[in-house]
Amino acid sequence: FPTLWCPECQTSIAQAELEDKEFPSNFLTVKFESEGKELPVATTRPELIPACVAVFVNPKDERFKHLKGERARVPLFGFEVPVFKDESADIERGTGIMMVCSYGDKFDVDAINRYKLKPNIIFNYDGTLNIGKYKGMKIKEARKKILEELKEKGLVLEQKQISHIVNVHDKCGTEIEFLPTEQWFIKILDKKKELLSQGKKVKWYPKHMYKRYENWVKGLVWDWNISRDRHFGIPIPVWSCKKCNEIILADEKELPIDPIQTEKFCKKCGQKAEPEIKVLDTWATSSLTPQIASSLIKNKIKIPYSLRPQAHDIIRTWAFYTIVKSYFHEKKLPWGDVMISGFVTLKGEKMSKSKGITIDPKKIIEEYGADALRFWAAGSKLGEDLDYSEKDLIAGKRFLTKMWNASRFVFMNLKGFSGRKPKKLEKIDELFLKELNRVIITTTHRFEVYEYSRAKFNAEGFFWRDFTDNYLEIVKKRIYNEKGDKKLSAQYTLYQSLLTILKLIAPIMPFITEELYQNYFRKTEKVKSIHVSGWPKRDIKMHEKWVETDIEFSANRWHLLINLISRIRSVKTENKKPMNAEIILTLEKKEHEKLKDVLQDLKDVTNAKEIKTGKFKVEFKK
């Protein structure tokens, strides 16, 4: 039976291993003859002319109504082939006449099977021809030679340059052929409906990636070829008796087994059976990864697992085949969720070792550290490719340094802190912890739906904007100069917020967060690692109550406060004044009223000696 064949790798392949590639080509109109009259046939593959076994014309095509003969003479080679009137010949394509060869494409396979034609195989498995003076020539070499000979004999009616899409093997980029070989298949074409249903039951992240799965299943035209003509791979545990065509399977207790190294005899005739020398396609075994994972822990956990993380380019292989295997073996899903990432590109092109488009990760880790590399990688959005960016590595390293310095500053000012929460928090600390609670809620949600880039964005943004740029500056005066509950409130807030930030960042930057946890928190938290400690708790009710009272963003007092601080800093910068320059601040009446509980904190952080009401203004003391 004709199967997809790669003449470069010299193995059969599956439909999932095909890629489309554009090639320049000659579009020829070649002169066949029927009853002494010219029969123009269009082709881009003159090397397949000697493999022609029939010619099709559409019975509705008025141009060829005159054809009464049942034979056509093949140019250059002189033999005759039957002419059939068949609606598969596309009136609008080429000359409207279809040359049926063994084999140019799947249409040829179908046509030859329907009319029970005898195929004329002219290609060897290594991509050379096996006929006459062309024997031993590579396909492209023979294509060129036959075209030259057709021209010499005046058999080319028209020739034009075109560019067209051709199926190639995804491993090597070689144009595939259709050659009759014995292979092992898993029937899937008759199960499309069931496989679409199974795919719908999975939660796809992002949702639109299900469409790729759906399109793939609907577009299948071949059953799943699981055997490969390679030297290395998982052996297929099968023997066959050539005398009575009996298939002999290995007993389950014998597995794993290599049939080449084990003799089997036919139970019917007693003759020694021949071992299968082909090996399994890699996807035939990697599609069992959930079951393999279960076997490693003595099946204490069984499918469905919770998650499959993978890239979008292997939805048609790893995701699809895993769903197929789990359905056929157990009528179950392999996992509940599938998280689809992209792949890494370099200047917009997919990284590839074979093409030399790579970056050495070891060198990156040596220069920037593993956490900085993970920081960059976590910037990829679900389902989208990520281009390598050194500036993001630099940003990651800067983030590491800032976390280290901020942690050191916090604990320099926590001397004597017992971990006890004061009876009453200062209003500014309360506002800040409410904002931290909001960030816990949003970041946790992003992680729960696998949007790690947004989780990173939330946590990192809070660290820079709210914690280091503002809160640390706001509490400095209080932490340095105050005593009692006012200082305790600041210490408690610093401790809790820093620990929470480290936990939110830990999945993305595990090494720096673990180091800081061990240095500063393990003694009091009494948990051996940040990575087995409890995830920050969300107070949903507190957040909902806060949202009810501060419906508009501008009414959120924490954000109102830090926006004001930012505006004041901008005015100082514009006037070339240092950040500690003394000012007299005028606020709008509404803003003054909303911030009445934290005006002293605003004074401390902006060095305002007086805050008045009126139109917003920053005046510098002379």
Q: 314, exposed or middle or buried, with CB in 10 Å at 0-12, 13-18, 19+?
A: middle
For the segment 57-67, the average pLDDT, to the nearest whole number, is 86
User: What CA–CA distance (Å, rounded) separates 26 from 47?
Assistant: 12
**How many other C-beta atoms can be found within 10 angstroms of the C-beta atom of residue 202?**
20
Q: What is the mean pLDDT of residues 474-490?
A: 92
User: Would you state the pLDDT for residue 553?
Assistant: 42
H or E segment to which residue 109 belongs: helix 106-114
Overall CATH class of domain 2-180 = alpha beta
482 pLDDT higher than 80: yes
d(CA 32, CA 55): 10
Task: Give which of 216, 193, 189, 213 is closest to 203, Cα–Cα.
Answer: 213
In this predicted structure, what is the pLDDT of residue 552? 47
**Beta carbons of 327 and 357 less than 8 angstroms apart:** no
* 439 CB neighbour count, 10 Å cutoff: 21
For residues 522 and 528, is the Cβ–Cβ distance under 8 A? yes
* pLDDT-based confidence at residue 336 (cuts at 50, 70, 90): very high
pLDDT category at 556 given cuts 50, 70, 90 is confident
Please state whether 172 falls in left (phi above 0), alpha (psi between -120 and 50) or beta.
alpha
Q: What is the pLDDT of residues 423-454, one digit of tens each?
A: 899 999 999 999 999 999 999 999 999 999 99
Of 476, 494, 492, which is closest to residue 425 (Cα–Cα)? 492
Q: State the sign of the Cα–Cα–Cα–Cα dihedral 447, 452, 457, 459.
A: positive
What are residue 12's DSSP bridge partners?
A: 5
Neighbours of 160 (CB within 10 A): 9
The token duo for 99 is: 């040359």
- What b/e string do you get for 325-353 counting C-beta neighbours within 10 Å, with b at 16 or more? bbbeeeeebbbebbbbbbebeeeeeebee
Q: How far is it, in rounded angstroms, from Cα 324 to Cα 444? A: 33
Q: Are 259 and 235 in contact (CB under 8 A)?
A: yes
CA–CA separation, 23 vs 601, rounded Å?
69
pLDDT at 199 over 70: yes
How long is the chain? Answer: 622
Element at 501 (helix H, strand E): helix 484-505
CATH 1.10.730.10 maps onto the chain at 370-548
Are 525 and 499 within 8 A, CB to CB? Answer: yes
User: For 211-254, how does the pLDDT look when each residue is reduced to its tens digit (9 = 90+)?
Assistant: 999 999 999 999 999 999 998 999 999 999 999 999 999 999 99
Q: Specify the DSSP class assigned to residue 331.
A: S
- Distance, in Å, from the CA atom of 99 to the CA atom of 369, rounded to the nearest integer, reads 61
pLDDT bucket at 9, cuts 50 / 70 / 90: very high
Interval 63-112: pLDDT, tens: 888 776 689 999 999 999 999 999 999 998 889 999 999 999 989 999 99
DSSP letter assigned to residue 276: P
* Dihedral pair phi/psi, residue 606, rounded to 5°: -105, -5
Element (H, E) at 143: helix 139-152
Q: What is the distance between the alpha carbons of residues 340 and 342, in angstroms, rounded to a whole number?
A: 7
Is 550 within 8 Å of 557 (Cβ atoms)?
Answer: yes
CB atoms within 10 A of CB 358: 13
The C-alpha atoms of residue 612 and residue 618 are separated, in whole angstroms, by 10
Mean pLDDT of the chain: 93
Packing angle between helix 510-520 and helix 484-505, nearest 10 degrees? 150
Residue 131: predicted pLDDT? 95
Contact between 315 and 213 under an 8 Å Cβ cutoff? The reply is yes
pLDDT digits (tens, 9 = 90+) for 120-169: 999 999 999 999 999 999 999 999 999 999 999 999 999 999 999 999 99
Burial class (CB in 10 A: 0-12, 13-18, 19+), 217: buried
Would you say residue 549 has pLDDT above 70? no
As to burial, measured by CB atoms within 10 angstroms (0-12 exposed, 13-18 middle, 19+ buried), residue 180 is middle
Per DSSP, 123 falls in state B
* Cis peptide bond N-terminal to 304, omega within 30: yes
The mean per-residue pLDDT over the stretch 284-302 comes to 95
Closest to 55 in 3D by CA, of 42, 37, 36, 45? 42
CATH class of 370-548: mainly alpha
Q: Is the pLDDT of residue 312 over 80?
A: yes
Backbone angles phi, psi at 84, to 5 degrees: -120, 140
Residue 353 · residue 360 · CB < 8 Å = no
Give the position of tokens 């006459």: 132
Instruction: Name the residue among 284, 345, 353 with its Cα closest to residue 318.
Output: 284
How many beta carbons lie within 10 A of that of residue 425, not counting itself? 18
What is the token pair recorded at 205? 């992240």
Locate the DSSP E strands across 140-219: 156-169, 177-180, 185-186, 203-205
- Measured between alpha carbons, how far is 476 from 111 in angstroms, rounded to an integer? 83
Helices 209-218 and 192-201: crossing angle in degrees, nearest 10, is 170
**Section 381-389 average pLDDT:** 92
d(CA 7, CA 3): 12
Kindly indicate the confidence band of residue 511, based on its pLDDT and cuts at 50, 70 and 90: very high
CA dihedral 418, 419, 422, 428 (to 10 degrees): 120
Structure-token match 């005898």, residue found = 118
Residues of each domain in the chain carrying CATH 3.90.740.10: 2-180
List the strands of the sheet with 274-275, edge to edge.
247-249, 238-240, 274-275
